[in-house]
Amino acid sequence: MQIAIDGPASAGKSTVAKKLAHNLNYMYLDTGAMYRGVTLEFLKDDIDLTNEELISQKLKNINLTFETVDNQQHILINGVDKGQEIRSVAVTNLVSDVASIKQVREFLVAEQRRIAGKHNVVMDGRDIGTTVLPNAEVKVFMLASVEERAQRRLLDYQRSGEEISLSQIEKDIKSRDYKDQHRAISPLVKATDAVELDTTSLSIDEVVEKLKKIIEKR
């Protein structure tokens, strides 16, 4: 079975998708981490995002894999765990631009479909139900208020030791939403057959339970 969870940044998709996959004994695939991984590599080599030839060449040298340690999924970039680095402010502020690049999307969508074809999978992102897995048996579109999402992101930054104001985070989230919704390739939209779920003020466990009920109905 394929379960697709889409929604804007910091709507809680990854957190609940991981827990849901664990409860169902399915594979969880963090597509956001894949885009962040590519973004980190582009930043490291100061890749010009308008240079298609350079981008294509760089992608050929990026190998993304996942491994699970103590029930936690880690993304490895060319064999090295970059779990903390991909969550930096610099990566967060650039990942939407990188995700809008045609070569990047083609590269990662192919990888995501390949993995999903081998497992029962829970996958979250921006275009899973519309582009990556259009035939997924269950599709959910998760929402939360900008204020709620900013608070969640603030906690993430605090845990990683980065200092940034709540107002700046809210501004960044609004900017990210606009970019995701207006990009030319696979913009953030709700699939016509997706169930909408607002997670504002809901705990992780409450969201997971709601997702289970949606799955049971389908």
CA-derived radius of gyration, the chain: 16
96 is in an annotated binding site: no
134 is in an annotated binding site: no
What pLDDT, in 10s, does the model give residues 188-215? 999 999 999 999 989 999 999 999 999 9
> Does residue 56 surpass a pLDDT of 90?
yes
Q: Is 102 annotated as a binding residue?
A: no
Is residue 10 part of an annotated ligand binding site? yes
Pick the CATH number of 2-200 from 3.40.225.10, 3.40.50.300, 2.40.50.140, 3.40.640.10: 3.40.50.300
**Residue 30 predicted with pLDDT over 90:** no
* pLDDT tens digits for range 168-194: 999 999 999 999 899 888 889 999 999
pLDDT tens digit sequence for 36-52: 999 999 999 999 999 99
pTM listed for this prediction: 0.82
Residues 36/99, Cβ–Cβ less than 8 Å: no
- The answer to whether 117 is a known ligand-binding residue is no
**pLDDT higher than threshold 90 for residue 72:** no
Q: Does the annotation place 17 within a ligand binding site?
A: no
Residue ranges of domains in the chain:
2-200
165 is in an annotated binding site: no
CA–CA separation, 122 vs 211, rounded Å? 11
> SS in 3 state form for the chain?
CEEEEECCCCCCHHHHHHHHHHHHCCEEEEHHHHHHHHHHHHHHCCCCCCCHHHHHHHHHCCCEEEEEECCEEEEEECCEECCCHHHCHHHHHHHHHHHCCHHHHHHHHHHHHHHHCCCCEEEEECCHHHHHCCCCCEEEEEECCHHHHHHHHHHHHHHHCCCCCHHHHHHHHHHHHHHHHHCCCCCCCCCCCCEEEECCCCCHHHHHHHHHHHHHHC
User: In whole angstroms, what is the distance from residue 149 CA to residue 173 CA?
Assistant: 8
